[in-house]
Structure 1
């Protein structure tokens, strides 16, 4: 389908159409850090389950973070969240299992934001789930190894937020966590915003573009 811009109601409508199709459907929802992916996906999930309870599940990319010990050994702990700090092969493998009609219950990892670690096999997606909302920064990134996900989605969405708004939201996030100005500067200009530019400029064109301009992130 041709790329088109949608508001939230349009996003719900497009996702609802997927629930009417045979077989399991996957919607990939991407966006830069601070673009409001999690909030958007949770709102979308809440809207969809009013139509078909238990028919929708969320699969966040963040569950595939490398553990901090692995990142330390890689020399990449300060850049946690960059494209090379995720188990992309594991992500691809789980998506393939979720496509496999012979799989009845697939265990997926969940990122614990309180502990800042990924917990393996923390959630079960059963075979009666018809629609899976896959969300993450890099799921449309057109570079190896992320481009292995290219054929994983039936519909793709990019959340569009201007960089100055991303900066404002991300600064507020790190201030909320009590980081020092030096740490915030590293987070913003050393990691988050460069990662966001990669998402914006190096991702494949999505089917739908959603402009998320609310204050929630």
Structure 2
């Protein structure tokens, strides 16, 4: 409140609707309701940040070209990085221990890109079905998003795919092989992979 000053003096402020909402809460003198107010949450977050300064990895939300990923996509991205390094932490879980890597919720999205090996892929056919290295085996995936995630060394590209599997039909596969195509089916699982793991794209 010291920062804002009296709310009534801000009637011309662009956040007038928000101020009106806060005024209608009428929590003065009702301490048990204070935890439900936006001001209380704002103050709590600021105190936590002051106690445990974050090792900033996430870019500012207003940086040009950034978008905030939804909760499901963020969770898949977090799992991807935690499998590589268990010290990565969800930015929504506060307070954060000191010197921990915090994965932000903002990314840049691209329509197409090229792997270090020269394979061109995109979100649209015919370059959206990819073959990639999955541990000791080969994986298949349909590209849904191409993200650039801000790391300490700069932006790093990752690929979000629907996991696919090759249809086990030798007769059909022989015919499709002649026209350089494959038959696959979606497994209903989203995973992130790195560009370095992409081997090739295929028609389907």
TM-score bucket (shorter structure): under 0.3
**What's the TM-score once normalised by structure 2's chain length?**
0.21
Whose helix proportion is higher, 1 or 2? 1
Q: Which is bigger in relative contact order (C-alpha 8 A, separation at least 6)?
A: 1
User: Which structure: larger Rg?
Assistant: 2
**What's the TM-score once normalised by structure 1's chain length?**
0.20
